[in-house]
Chain A
């Protein structure tokens, strides 16, 4: 069951969220008997985001469901999902600390290298001041840390109106996108 009244930011708006994020500690609650072997974790009904290890162990059974998403830890590789992208409506990337920047490259690779087009959600220590960067590398959904205001976080998406570099959101760098005549004296 998803948390009651849970809200996230998705596609630049605040929306209700009905996905259950299955963290290792959550799985213990759901099925206390499980010694956490990924193949043995029981997956509740409804929309569930499972850890990569669980997905890989139970792929055959879970593939039949359309309401399964997968989350990657910051030290896991996006290529592990490369054959599954078409059937995953949601991939989440965990930020154990907001200063752990691996998730940015994971997102970029999922979008740009592997062509993932579904919901890409930042989870974990997700805070307002990183949202601009997160959105640029391809995240379109943000499960902002529970003790923070979503309304406030939303403002973080529009901190900057100019982007020099190419990334997932801009297919070309600024110098190809616009004509910069320069102001040479």
Chain B
């Protein structure tokens, strides 16, 4: 992974010093809260329901074991012993004290981490594919470009006070695993017919109040032009994006207002002034950064391990875990392992300090000392030898990190919601926990198969509920919490926005609602159909009929009881 040089380190150190002084001035009342707010936000510090929340950047989701240990220490000493991984591959601590944040940031700087621009109306942390560098379907490794963009966007002087937040995602594989279509700018690294590397540039995607799929404004942008072209896009946005209404200030609204073609022309015009100028990326710089992401010295291993195959036969729990949590790797004999942070009884994405240390140890023992955070709020050990899988599984299981549910109904994507977040209209975590409890029958869960369930506590859509196969949105109605359900959303190459099925439900009804949706699927599916395929084929009507057909009374049975009996 990328390691800071003297310049990178200096910026992060100076940022800590700057923020320390800003906190001092705030505490001395030299800064009003209104003036301090954007300053703290641009260092990831939110004021939440009970305390300050600090969001720490994990650039494109990449972490070292050493960094994770530091996060564990911070969890212990400055929080209540846990942290929360977010859908933008960052980590949040929910219980920090303002006075301590400069020390936390200093500690992070010591392991080449920071919280720069994890909030505020600026360019946020750049997200990417958790399988970058190891996926068989990769076209170009996006990480060097992501790191170059991290540096370019860090303290960009012109773009620190944009009309609204600005999110980049970058993907370099056949399959989009970075939800690029739902970002202000979604880049796909591709090759043209001549084999040259460039980007397909998508602009104006976003979820939130107005979910919109991004528009491609350039099919192929040769890589040297990456920064100048992005500069042109953001300069146009900075000048013409709306500032009178924060709900209409994202770039997607500007694109909608003037049309993507007109927007593309504006960008093109601006870009002509910058194209081939000094902002053009050089091969030397690309190679410097790319050298940090070269493939490790993989061992030559057989494509499949006989002992593991044997254990798979003998041990059903292990087999389940292999089926769900172990992903292919482009190198024979290697696998990527997803450590599930979706255990029954634990809020999705939460991890304890002890678990962080266990994961750090596992990463060092089995995966070259590195790990990745997924936007689905799990962790990935990306370079595991197949022959180590059984050992790794046992240790992960002991630490509560081996729930075999990746990609299944209980691999719920969920924001912190009303339990923590000051913006939330409703709680989200208890809904996730109740659904997980209802669907605790593993056989039933595996039978249902792949299904993405996303729960957001408000319209800001941090949990990406619009692109969940089942999306749940917490809403406030006359002071009480209700849940609106949408169906048919999906991420990936066919990103679609789900459709709302009808009136909202109470929290107590939600497990039944999900169960009824599943019943329709199980009744109607053809052999090879996933949940989303059935929804696409039938539309939402039969699901609607089932959910609203009879009143939903609270019940005590577990889902799949009948299937079991």
Contact = CB atoms under 8 A, between A and B. Distances in A.
Contacts of A137: 157-158
Contact of B161 (A104, A108, A167, A182): A104
A136 B3 contact: no
Nearest to B162: A101
B480 interface: no
B4 to A, nearest CB: 8
A160 B159 contact: no
A182 to B, nearest CB: 5
A137 B156 CA distance: 10
Contacts of B285: 175-176, 180
Given A100-B161, A183-B3, A175 B282 contact: yes
B156 A165 contact: yes
A16 interface: no
B550 interface: no
Contacts of B14: 159-162
B302 to A, nearest CB: 28
Interface residues on chain B, size class:
35 or more
A113 interface: yes
B558 interface: no
Interface stretch (B5-13, B84-92, B258-266, B411-419): B5-13
A169 to B, nearest CB: 8
Contact of B3 (A102, A159, A184): A184
A129 to B, nearest CB: 6
A98 interface: yes
Interface stretch (B128-136, B147-155, B385-393): B147-155
A173 B278 contact: yes
Interface stretch (B235-243, B350-358, B397-405, B482-490): B235-243
Interface in A136-185: 136-137, 152, 159-167, 171-176, 178, 180-185
Nearest to B243: A100
B162 A129 contact: no
Interface residues of A, number: 41
Chain A contact residues: over half helix, strand or loop, or mixed? loop
B38 A180 contact: no
B162 A164 contact: no
Given A100-B161, A101-B238, A165-B157, A182 B10 contact: no
A167 B158 contact: yes
Nearest to A108: B158
A104 B11 contact: no
A152 B162 CA distance: 26
B158 A166 contact: no
A133 interface: yes
B242 to A, nearest CB: 11
Contact of A171 (B163, B235, B278): B278
Given A182-B5, A184-B3, A185-B3, A132 B278 contact: no
Contacts of B218: none
Interface in B16-36: 17-18, 22, 30, 35
A102 B291 contact: no
B288 A129 contact: no
A102 B237 CA distance: 9
Contacts of B157: 104, 132-134, 136-137, 163, 165, 167
A127 interface: yes
A98 B161 contact: yes
Interface string B226-239: 01000000010011
Nearest to B30: A152
B469 interface: no
Interface string B254-289: 000000000000000000010001110110110011
14 contacts: A100-B161, A104-B158, A108-B158, A133-B157, A133-B158, A160-B155, A165-B152, A173-B227, A175-B281, A180-B5, A182-B288, A183-B3, A183-B4, A183-B5
Interface of A: 98-102, 104-106, 108, 113, 127, 129-130, 132-134, 136-137, 152, 159-167, 171-176, 178, 180-185
